Amino acid sequence: MSCTDLRGNPSGSRSEPARAAVERALWRMMSFYDTPLADLDNAVAADPGWALPHAMKAGFLLSLTEPGLVAEAHAHLARAEALAADATPRERTHLGALQQIAEGRWHAACRTWDALLVEHPRDALALQWAHLWDYYRGDAFALRQRPARALPEWDESDPLHACVLALHAFGLEEGNLYPQAEEAGRRALAADPRVPWAVHAVAHVMEMQGRFDEGSSWLRLHQPHWAEGNGFACHLWWHQALFRLEALDSVGVVRLVDHHLSGEALQITLQRVDAAAMLWRLHLLGEDVAARCRALVDDWALDGDGAGYYAFNDLHAVLAMLGAGDLAAAERHVARCAERALAPADACRSNHAMAREVGLPLMRGALAYARGDDAAACEAMYPVRAITHRFGGSHAQRDIVDQTLLAAAARGKLRALGRALVNERRMARPASPLTRHWMAQFGEREAAGVR
C-alpha cells in the first residue's frame, strides 16, 4: 500500500506517527515557531528506516547559512543516503538538492526543486527550501513566480496554505508589486495570524513605500504572535528598528538594538547580520556604536574558516569589524574571502561568483570608507549597485549599500553623486526624515519637507 503526506505527495514511511511528526516539523520550518529538530527526532524514532527526517535535519541546518554547521549537516545527509534505497523518487530528489546545497551549488539546487515542484506543486518542503535559497541568491523572479505556479493547486483549507501565500507575498514585494504583495500578506494573516513571513512581507512593502510610522504600528499590532517563541523575532525587531531609523529616531533604534539585537538574542549568523546592519547604519549617521560593534564581533567567532562561505554574511561581518574600529581585522577577513572566492577548488560554489562580482567590491568599498577615502569607496561600490541582488538579501537589506554611498558622498563632498542618489530615493517614495537628512547634506533647499 502506497502512503502519502497530507497533500497527496508520495511518502516513504508507512508510520502514521512518523508522518505526523514530519508534518509538525514542516509547520515549524515554515512558521519559525521553535526548531523542527525534536519533531524530526520523533519521526526517526517512529520510523528508523525513513530517509526524509534525516534529510530535513540537514536542510534545516544548511538553511541557517552557518559554516560551522555544515559538517553536522553532511552527517545527516550521509544517514539519509544510507536509507535512500527505500525512499520515494520525490524524497530522493530532495536529498539530491540538499547535497547540491551542501556542496555550495545553490543555483543547481533551486533548479532541482523547481523541476520537482512542476510534478508536485503541493510539496511544501520544496517550496520552503527553494524560497529560502532564492532569497539567499537574490533571485527575485523565482521568489515571485515559483509560489505563483504552485498556489492554484493548493486547497485553502490546507493548514500550510497561509504559509505558502506568505511566500508568494514576499516574492511579489521583491518583484516591486507592492499592492499585490500587501493584499496577499494580509490575506494570509486573515487565514492564520501565526504566519510571521506574512507579517514580514507586508513590513517590507511599507518599508519600500516609506510608510515608516504605519510600519511600526503594523509590527506592534502583530507582535503578540511573533515576539515570543519565534525564530523570526530578531529579524522583525530589525524591521521595527529600520522603521524608527527612517523616522530618524536614533534613540529608539539604539533602544531596540540593546533589547533585541544584542547579547543572548543573537544565536546565529543571520541574527548577527541584522545587528551589524543596524549598527552600521547608526555609525553612518554619526552615532558612537563602537563598543556595541566590538561586543558583536567578539561573539561572532569570525576567526575560523567560515570567511568566504556566503558573501552577504561576509560583508556584514566586515561592517561590524569596521564599526568596532578594527580595520586590520576587516582587511584580514576580506583577504580570506578573496582567497576563497578565487580558489579553483571552490569554483563550483555559487558564492564564488557572488563574492567576485558583488561581495568583494562592496567589502573593499567599505574598507576605503573606513580609511577615509570616500572617492575610492564610491568608485568601488557605485558600479555594483545595479547587481547587488546577485549576492542575496532583500531590497531593504541591500539599501545598506546606498546608505554607505550617501555617507561617503556627503563626507567626501561628492555633491553630484549624492544628489543623484537622493533624487532617486525621492522619486521612489515620499521623503522621510532620513531622506531629508541626506538631502540636507547635499544642500537641498527642499530638505525641510517636500517630496
The candidate with the shortest Cα–Cα distance to 334, out of 301, 357, 311, is 311
Per-residue pLDDT, 129: 98
CA distance 121 to 110: 14
Domain boundaries, the chain: 1-126, 265-390
At 447, list the grid cell.
Answer: 530638505
Per-residue pLDDT, 449: 47
DSSP secondary structure letters along 250-302: HHHHHHHHHHHSSGGG--SHHHHHHHHHHHHHHHHTT---HHHHHHHHHTT-T
CA distance 383 to 88: 47
Per-residue pLDDT, 347: 77
Q: What is the pLDDT along the chain (451 residues), one digit of tens a residue?
A: 469 999 999 999 999 999 999 999 999 999 999 999 999 999 999 999 999 999 999 999 999 999 999 999 999 999 999 999 999 999 999 999 999 999 999 999 999 999 999 999 999 999 999 999 999 999 999 999 999 999 999 999 999 999 999 999 999 999 999 999 999 999 999 999 999 999 999 999 999 999 999 999 999 999 999 998 999 999 999 999 999 999 999 999 999 999 999 999 999 999 999 999 999 999 999 999 999 999 999 999 887 678 999 999 999 999 999 999 999 999 999 999 999 998 887 778 999 999 999 999 999 999 999 999 999 999 999 999 999 999 999 999 999 999 999 999 999 999 999 999 999 999 999 999 999 999 999 987 555 444 3
Q: What is the pTM of this model?
A: 0.96
380 contacts: CB under 8 Å, gap ≥ 6: 361, 362, 364, 365, 368
At 401, list the grid cell.
Answer: 549599500
Class of domain 1-126: mainly alpha
